[in-house]
Chains A and B, each alone.
Chain A
Amino acid sequence: MKYLTHKKQNDTHQLRKLPVLLATIALLLLFVQVLVSNSLATAGHQISQIETRTAQLSQENQQLEEQIASVSALLTIKEKAATIGFVKPVVPLFLSSDTPVAFERH
């Protein structure tokens, strides 16, 4: 009988704690939501910034590719070669694969 009375008191005590526990969880969740919402609100701005930066880098990349193509164009190379003194090979000299005469006399 004493055991039953003690158990009943325990249950009543735990039932009294439940609303407090639920309220705490609710407050915690509310706090988390505020944090997440806050973080997401600024993330939009960050995404926008990242996208702008991506577009800028893509454009810079394209401009660099354009510059590379321009400076490696044969017309440009020809002009630059002429300014630093290169000339066209008029009569190329081809070396024969036959054994040289001096070796043959050995």
Chain B
Amino acid sequence: MIPRLKIVLGIFGLLFICIIVRLFYWQILSNGRLAQAASDQYFYTLNISPSRGVILANDGNPLVANKTAYLVYAEPQKIIQGTEFIKKVSELLVLDAKDIEERISQKNLVWVPLKHKVDEEVYQKLKRLELKGLGFEEESKRFYPEASMGAQLFGFVGNDTNGQDKGYFGLEGFYDRALKGKPGSLLAEKDAHGLPILLGDIRRISAENGQTLTLYLDRTVEFILDEKLQEGIKKYGAKEGLAVAMDPKTGGILGAVSFPSYDGRDFSHYETEVYKNPLVAHTYEPGSTFKTLVMAAALNEKVIDPNTKYNEEGPVPVGEYLIRTWNNQYHGEMTATQILEKSSNPGMVFVEKKLGTETFIEYIKKFGFGQKTNIDLEEEVTPELRKDNDWKEIDLATASFGQGIAVTPIQMLRAVGSLANGGDLLEPHVVKELVDTTGKKITLDTKKIISVIRPATAHVITEMMVNAVDNGEAKWAKPKGYRIAGKTGTAQIPVAGHYDDQKTIASFVGFAPADDPKFVMLVLLGEPTSSPWGSETAAPLFFSIARELFTYYGISPTN
């Protein structure tokens, strides 16, 4: 009797241990998986993607918005007619048929993505095919109402390493965090039909959409710049070009275009070199346009005045070098105003010597060279200046007429902008304000960095620049009756330690109307072939753009 009892007890003990082991497996080892399975049965979870913020022009019209697109995916286990599936899908999605075949042949996979950001039109065509095993998921895609206009200013949206949307370059890159917003989620208890239970457990974290950027950019100005620059590049046979206009009183960028560029809708088909905006990422020697700044510094220090006499009698020796005029012609006695008008290199060496080494270097820094402007574009660079004790006599002499010193277009525009607004160096901005989904606005106020010159000096240099336009080499192209302050520039391109004989960068920088400037503008043409000179290429293009801007702003001639 006792052994039988022991056997029964042993069997019960064994069963008890089995139950313990099984429970241990379920409750401890498989806890996560089973809890997830139960949760999937009772709850549905939904990741709520935020809508990326839009970019608006100063009149509220969208420059970069969002549109509905689709992720097209395949469910290999549900595909019935594989050949037909591959043929039709590859045709409409413009994908390699072999690539699709490889993807869908992996029968162990439940879900295979085929293509992201597919347009509505293609989606409708695919949907009408009613192919088994083909699915769609809504997603968002960037939309550019003005097509490729301003692409380098806006940047583009690509993918990060996790396949999530990420802004690159320009505004998209700089303001990526503000534009992308914060994702949300929804966890809700569901019934047997998968419908939400009203009194069930619902946990909702709302998605926070990206902020809206309102720009200083005027789309009409941008349109004029775009159209005119394309015409100019074609007309003067240039390799590349840039045109940018800024409000000198606020530092707001009114328009900026450059070519070659790319189309934000199709950025992956362009060379990566064109992704960076030359406005902030390209460095060049400013040439004679730099003379306005050196002259302004000398006037501000009162070492010269507009009537200071200089005798331009021939090339000026500086160390072992001779500084010549651009055409090797010399005009004898001239005033400081005429030095700017004739764009005299020897005359500028005279002005630089009057200014003195330390003051000259100090003003170059005060005008913002050698430091970033902090414009709100991601890819800004700054060429480094020589160290203070590295400036040799010849470096100072050539820098006085804009050679041997590298700048970015935005640095040059900002510096000349300070002459236009009475002497203040401002921080340039593309974005005027950020608005979040609750309507809260963050306005980016005008930021003054430093007063470089006195208002009286700004007035004098403006008059000298107006004279340089009225009597300079490009006077034939100037719109009649308007007072435009400006200066042409023709810079040689340094190649492997020397200057290229043929290639130049032609430029014109100026502001108008001179007495109450509405815009300060820089036009650059890289390697123009019709003429190497700024006065015959960049200057007429500047005036052609200015003429349209006067009409747009309703600015009438003053005489």
Listed in ascending order, the chain A residues whose CB lies under 8 Å from chain B are 40-41, 43-45, 47-48, 59, 62-63, 65-66, 69-70, 72-75, 78, 89, 92, 94
Contacts and interface: CB of A to CB of B under 8 A. Distances in A.
Contacts of A69: 61-62, 65, 143, 145
Interface in B479-507: none
Interface stretch (B154-162, B196-204, B305-313): B196-204
B223 interface: yes
B191 A66 contact: no
A40 B197 contact: yes
B92 interface: no
Cβ-closest 8 pairs across A and B: A44-B195, A69-B145, A94-B556, A73-B145, A74-B223, A43-B198, A69-B62, A40-B198
Interface residues of B, number: 26
Contact of A66 (B61, B65, B197): B65
Interface string B222-243: 0100000000000000000000
A73 B557 contact: no
Residue from the set A41, A65, A69, A72 with the largest chain B CB neighbour count within 10 Å? A69
A48 B219 contact: no
A66 B143 contact: yes
A89 B219 CA distance: 19
A41 B138 CA distance: 29
Interface in B183-219: 191, 193, 195-199, 219
Contact of B196 (A48, A59, A73, A94): A48
Nearest to A39: B198
Nearest to B138: A59
Contacts of B199: 40
Contacts of A63: 67-68, 120
A85 to B, nearest CB: 19
A70 to B, nearest CB: 6
8 contacts: A44-B195, A44-B198, A47-B196, A62-B67, A73-B147, A74-B146, A78-B223, A94-B556
Nearest to A89: B551
B189 to A, nearest CB: 10
A94 B557 contact: yes
A44 B145 CA distance: 40
B551 A44 contact: no
B65 A65 contact: yes
Contacts of A66: 65, 67, 143
